[in-house]
Every structure is written in C-alpha cells, then in structure tokens.
Amino acid sequence: MKLLKQETFCIQFNNHRRVPWPHHRRKTYLCYQLQLNGVTYASDYLRNKRGRHAEIRFVEKIRSLKLDKDKNYDITCYLTWSPCLHCARELVDLKRSHRHLTLQLFTSRLYYHWFQKFQEGLHLLYTSQVPVIVMGFQDFSDCWDRFVDHQGRAFGPECWDGLEQRSKNIQQRLNRILQVFSIVVFGSIVNEGYLNSPSEGQEFCVYNRNPGACGYGVTVGVLAFLTCLLYLALDVYFPQISSVKDRKKAVLSDIGVSAFWAFLWFVGFCYLANQWQVSKPRDNPLSEGTDAARAAIAFSFFSIFTWAGQAVLAFQRYQIGADSALFSQDYMDPSQDSSMPYAPYVEPSTGPDPAGMGGTYQQPANAFDAEPQGYQSQGY
C-alpha cells in the first residue's frame, strides 16, 4: 500500500481558509481504512480521476470488495474537502445498502459550504448516520500516523500554526449549517401541531389545546433560525473585524447566546413535554399529529445539547484565542509573522500607515489580489 509524502500531506490537508495562488493545488485526497473487529483489511488513499470525484471512486472500490453485509465493518475516511451533494448521496447509498457498516468521515475543510446544495449534502450525511467530523489535532495526528510516510516523525503542530483554532472555527461553521437545516424541520413539525377541529371549525393546539405551547414552539423555532442566520453571517465577517476587542466581544456573545438558547430549548422541552402529558385523549380522538408532537419534543431535547455544544465550542475558541495571538492574524492570513501578536490585519510590506482607523473602510485583502507576486513565502 502506498503512503502519502509528508510534504503532500502538509499541502493538501492544511486547513487554512485561504492559500496563495494557484488555488487548485489543494486537491481532494481521500484516505480510507477498512477494519473488521480491529483488524485492518484495506488502507489506501484516492484522488479524483477522469472527472470522477475521489468519493465516487471510493464507493465503487468498496462495492467491488463485495463485503459481507452482515458483518460489522468499520470504515474511517480522512478527506481534504468535504463531499459535494452528489458524492454525499452516493456515500449515503453505500451506508444504506450495508446496514451494519460504520462509516465515519473526517474532513479537514468544508467545500463550498456557503452554497445551499453543499449544505444539503452535509445535512443528508448527518441525518443518515454518516457523521462528518471536522478534523482536530488528534485526527490530523491519527491520519498522519496511518497514511503518511512519516519516517518515525510524529505529527507536530509546527507544521501548521493555529491548526486547532481554525479547526474549531470550521467545526462551529458545520454545526451552524446543520442547525439551520434542523430548525427548518422543527418549524414544519411544530406547525403540524395546529390541528383543525371539524366540529368547531377552527384550529387548536395538539399540546393540551394550549395555544401557548404551540406558540412557544413556533416562536422559539423562528427566533432560533434567525439567531443561526445572524451567526452564520458573523462567521463570514469575523476575519474582517480588525479590532481584537470586537472579536472578543463577538466570541463572548456567541457563548452567551448559545447558552441562552440551550436554556430556551430546555424550557421548551419541559413545557411541551408537560403539556403533552396532560393533554386529554378525548380532545383529539383521531390522534392526529401525535408523531409530530413527539418529534417536536424530541427535537427540543436534542437541541439543548447542540446549542450547549456551540457554547462550549465558542468558549474553547475564546480560551485558545485569549492567551495566544490567535484573535488576530490567524483567521485569514496563511503567511508567517507570528512575531506580532494581536496585530490587526494589514499588508505587512506596505509602507506608511494605511489610513488609520477612521474614515474609509479598508479592504486589505485586495492588496494581495492585486499583487500576487508579492507572495514569496511558502508559509504552509
């Protein structure tokens, strides 16, 4: 079995959000390991070939092995880019046709994650028991040990500075995407909680005929959705916030808001569960909407943890950022210069002060784009 070269791994698996020209040097690499009861049966890496994505080739490869569908195989994949919608469907198909297969995807970066199609793919995987996990230091390290010709060297953080911080960002981004999709589902479920009463000719709430319960569900759903959108937008603009203070505020608000939402979901869960318990069967003789009612309760329950998880992630981001320079350069600049902690993002080689802090809003990234040759260092 062939192994990756150290240099290839560092170039292809790095999780910087942008890299210097030419961008297409970051290709898809898919490293997979097939195990049964801890014994490795296959271990290899794949790339795109003849226009077919590595993931597709992977699925074909696995299918060609004609695995015994009753055995509990275990497949771990490490991807440089997360799968597109088409590949996500293929992977889900593979999972569905092999009930007992455990398929786990680790990804270094999210591919086109601001397009709805790609978000849909991620959500599909998420809801089909094919977890997509953003690689953290431990995962990079595992991948390094298994698939790289490391010549005895351990995976070291000196390879990429600030890896853990970026990983947390990406993970948070992924969580948020999945949250938005889930909330839409919740909204449609809770909407079914309003039942039509043929005798009275008007709607009533499936939860104990208490309009407050349905109202709370809908309100929480809509507001949570808006909160998600707000923070999705904030994630995008975060690197452009030049003041360290504002960045800290943004992350701190994320902690508070996420924790607060965990609380609201908790209240919602208790409220709905309680009202559901005391609803009288004779109010709803046909038992309409009971599935929806239960689903909404379950959703509220799980939301407590997803939002609490967001809060924890934000807290970790804050912790990492608080005592290192990571609140500053690391978010957007793959180049070096670790000597200047908390430096705002400005093109280092430009001479005199670019327009202070007032007046026009500087867009420093343009300075890079206009002068690609200025990029000399192979920082990563």
Partner DNA sequence: CATCCCAGG
> With CB under 7 A as the contact rule, which of the stretches 67-75, 105-113, 315-323, 371-379 interacts with DNA?
105-113
Site string for Zn ion, 41-60 (x = CB under 5 A): ------------x-------
The reply to whether 95 sits near Zn ion by the rule CB under 5 A is: no
Q: Which does 214 bind (CB under 5 to 8 A by kind): Zn ion, DNA, none?
A: none
The reply to whether 122 sits near Zn ion by the rule CB under 5 A is: no
Distance CA 304, CA 260 (A): 10
The reply to whether 24 sits near DNA by the rule CB under 7 A is: yes
Task: State the minimum distance, in angstroms, from the CB of residue 227 to DNA.
Answer: 14
Residue 49's contacts (CB-CB under 8 Å, 6 or more residues apart) are 57
Residues labelled as active-site residues: 55
Task: State the minimum distance, in angstroms, from the CB of residue 86 to DNA.
Answer: 8
DSSP sequence for 121-168: HHHHHHHTT--EEE--HHHHHHHHHHHB--TTPPP-TTSSTTHHHHHH
The reply to whether 232 sits near DNA by the rule CB under 7 A is: yes
The reply to whether 117 sits near DNA by the rule CB under 7 A is: no
Nearer to DNA, 54 or 272 (CB): 54
The reply to whether 282 sits near DNA by the rule CB under 7 A is: no
Nearer to Zn ion, 117 or 153 (CB): 117
**Helices and strands (DSSP H and E) totals, the chain:** 10, 7
Nearer to DNA, 54 or 314 (CB): 54
Work out which of 14, 55, 101, 273 binds DNA, going by CB under 7 A: 55
Distance CA 16, CA 375 (A): 16
Nearer to DNA, 86 or 100 (CB): 86
Q: Which does 100 bind (CB under 5 to 8 A by kind): DNA, Zn ion, none?
A: none
- Surface-to-core class of residue 6, CB atoms within 10 Å of its CB (0-12 exposed, 13-18 middle, 19+ buried): middle
Phi, psi of 314 (to 5 degrees): -60, -40
The candidate with the shortest Cα–Cα distance to 84, out of 66, 100, 105, is: 105
Nearer to DNA, 55 or 74 (CB): 55
Angle at 150 between CA 337 and CA 334, to 5 degrees: 20
DSSP sequence for 189-205: HHHTTEEEETTTTEEEE
Work out which of 28, 108, 210, 329 binds DNA, going by CB under 7 A: 28
CA 38 from centroid of its chain's CA atoms: 28
Q: Which does 306 bind (CB under 5 to 8 A by kind): DNA, Zn ion, none?
A: none
Tell me the three state secondary structure of residue 271.
helix
CA 105 from centroid of its chain's CA atoms: 12
The reply to whether 87 sits near Zn ion by the rule CB under 5 A is: yes
Distance CA 168, CA 253 (A): 16
Nearer to DNA, 55 or 254 (CB): 55
CB atoms within 10 A of CB 356: 7
Q: Which does 19 bind (CB under 5 to 8 A by kind): DNA, Zn ion, none?
A: DNA
Phi, psi of 195 (to 5 degrees): -105, 150
> With CB under 7 A as the contact rule, which of the stretches 67-75, 76-84, 144-152, 338-346 interacts with DNA?
76-84
Structure tokens at 322: 């608080």
The reply to whether 162 sits near DNA by the rule CB under 7 A is: no
Q: Which of residues 30-49 bind DNA (CB under 7 A)?
A: 48-49
Q: Which residues bind Zn ion (CB under 5 A)?
A: 53, 84, 87
Q: Which residues bind DNA (CB under 7 A)?
A: 17-19, 23-24, 26-28, 48-51, 53-55, 81-84, 87, 109, 111-114, 173, 232-233, 235-236
